[in-house]
Amino acid sequence: MRFDLITLFPELFEPFLKTGITRRAFESGQVQVHTHNPRDHAQGAYRRVDDRPFGGGPGMVMMAEPLALAVEQAQAQREKPAKVLLFSPVGRVLDHALVQQWADSEGAVLVCGRYEGLDQRFIDACVDEQISLGDFVLSGGELPAMVFLDAIARLQPEVLGDAQSHIQDSFNPVLDGLLDCPHYTRPEVWRAHSVPPVLASGHHEHIERWRRDQRLLLTARLRPALIEAARSAGRLDAKDETLLRGGPPGA
Ligand code: 9D3
């Protein structure tokens, strides 16, 4: 798959593309990433990409033409035109379903905005979908684009690796709809805090039951709506329900 980034700051993506477990997906070309700078398509000695808003108000607005030319350059380099996504605070909030949809796609053109916004005529004429990270204000779309690409890259079989690939179909940030259990590593006692003894017991069945119980209790406490969803989907069995009613483990 191929993603074309439209950004005034292509250098922000360099360390991201070269670092961490997602590096293989990008360097192997499994997830191809190309950048296009609207400034390279701007006019005049100053190569302006922003101007003052019609009607007044604070801040600057990104001009339509440099953005449109950058998108057109990106589309011309692709085998066939792709959807154009804009990262914007008014977009649909990113979640696993959206990440999975784009991870299963041929890619897209990703527009990263700066300043107070983009000329609406560019959005109306050139943008298919808008994606937000949530209700807080960032300085631009570059970090959201990296978040989006990171989430997509780690779903690639090569990144996930053999050991984890069996869970790919059911992969979900909350696994099978429950929050993850706590994790521990050496030393077994750290500053007088011990690892839960069951995890050091070597008793595999007890460990799996403990982990399931932890996930159920944690989810019931922090994300009760997820328990209801798991119950409706038939993913809770009798042992799970006993635990959630305050019954054993062990007691
Ligand atoms: C008061 C008007 N501002 C909207 C909250 C204008 C504005 C500020 C900052 C518009 C865009 C931006 C830059 N933000 C993004 O490009 C952005 C973003 C975000 O700020 N929050 C959550 N998700 C995203 S995706 C892109």
- Alpha helix ranges (H) inside the chain: 13-17, 23-27, 64-77, 96-103, 120-126, 142-153, 157-165, 204-222, 224-232, 238-244
Does residue 58 line the site of ligand 1, with CB under 6 A?
Answer: no
Does residue 136 line the site of ligand 1, with CB under 6 A?
Answer: yes
CATH architecture of 2-153: 3-Layer(aba) Sandwich (3.40)
pLDDT in tens, the chain (251 residues): 999 999 999 999 999 999 999 999 999 999 999 999 999 999 999 999 999 999 999 999 999 999 999 999 999 999 999 999 999 999 999 999 999 999 999 999 999 999 999 999 999 999 999 999 999 999 999 999 999 999 999 999 878 776 665 455 444 656 678 999 999 999 999 999 999 999 999 999 999 999 999 999 999 999 999 999 999 999 999 999 999 999 766 55
**pTM, full prediction:** 0.93
Domain 170-244: state its class: mainly alpha
Q: Where are the domains of the chain?
A: 2-153, 170-244
Set 27, 40, 106, 116: catalytic member: 116
Set 154, 209, 211, 231: catalytic member: 154
State the amino acid at position 164 in one-letter form.
Answer: Q
